[in-house]
Structure 1
Amino acid sequence: MWKWTNLLLAFLVELVALGIFAWWGSQATDNTALRIVLAVGLPVVAAVIWGLYAAPTAKRGTPVVRTVVKVLVFGLAGAALWSLGHPVLGVVFVVVVAANLLIIHVQKLSPDTPQRNVSE
């Protein structure tokens, strides 16, 4: 259950990062047209890059590229929160993401625990 909880959290922080990009884009300028373009475009660009290089099913990139993309996407999302006037939320977001990614990485390195036979 712990593994699935962490994977769910990973998915949720990915969605939150896209929301942060949309929020930042909607506040980035006074030009209404540019605000709409940024609010829609930034999350789309981030999602495409994520899908190509960082998603679990991504066919492109190496483990190093996957890590760099994750650091950039989550780091920029944290920086966007900071620039929106929410530095504490930005730091909390990045710390939660880092802890989640570390836990997932450690879980991948550890051998699976043996399953107990239900009939025992």
Structure 2
Amino acid sequence: MPAALGWTVLALVFVDEVLAVWALAHVGGHLGGWPVGLLLAVSAVAVWWMFASPKAPWGGPIVRPVVKVVVFGSAVVGLFWTGHQAVGVALLVFSVVVNALAMLPSVAQLAESASDPGRP
């Protein structure tokens, strides 16, 4: 895969993560207004940073994918719960596709080289 296409995939993975946080903020807003929405969004970002980001201090080969499924699954279920079924399905499909593409060896190597500047 050309590097430009790989970087596009990685950018779409980031967009997907932002959409999941937005969805959780939206769900929190339905649960208890904007303070709950903000709390849910900040909590999702903190959990993602601790366990699912490329440089997560407590991530690992088992923890990272489990946390990703929990965050994206919560966002999709929350969208369904708030009456946004079409948006929930769209987020689910988009998440599965871009994260599957990100697992391709050429894209995964780009991500690893970006997180380790000393690597060629």
- Scaled by the length of structure 1, the TM-score of the pair is 0.81
Cα distance in structure 1, aligned partners of 2:57 and 2:109? 25
Note the C-alpha offset of 1:87: 1.0
Cα distance in structure 2, aligned partners of 1:26 and 1:44? 13
**Residue of structure 2 equivalent to 1:16:** 19
**Contact 1:20–1:81 at 8 Å: present in 2 too?**
yes
**Residue of structure 2 equivalent to 1:91:** 89
Note the C-alpha offset of 1:54: 0.4
Note the C-alpha offset of 1:106: 1.7
AA of the residue aligned to 2:102: I
2:50 is equivalent to residue 52 of structure 1: yes
Percent identity over the alignment is 32
Match of 1:104 among 88, 102, 105: 102
- Scaled by the length of structure 2, the TM-score of the pair is 0.81
Structure 2 gap segments, 5+ residues each = 111-120
Q: Which has the larger radius of gyration?
A: 1
**Residue of structure 2 equivalent to 1:5:** 8
AA of the residue aligned to 1:45: S
Cα distance in structure 2, aligned partners of 1:80 and 1:108? 33
Note the C-alpha offset of 1:18: 1.0
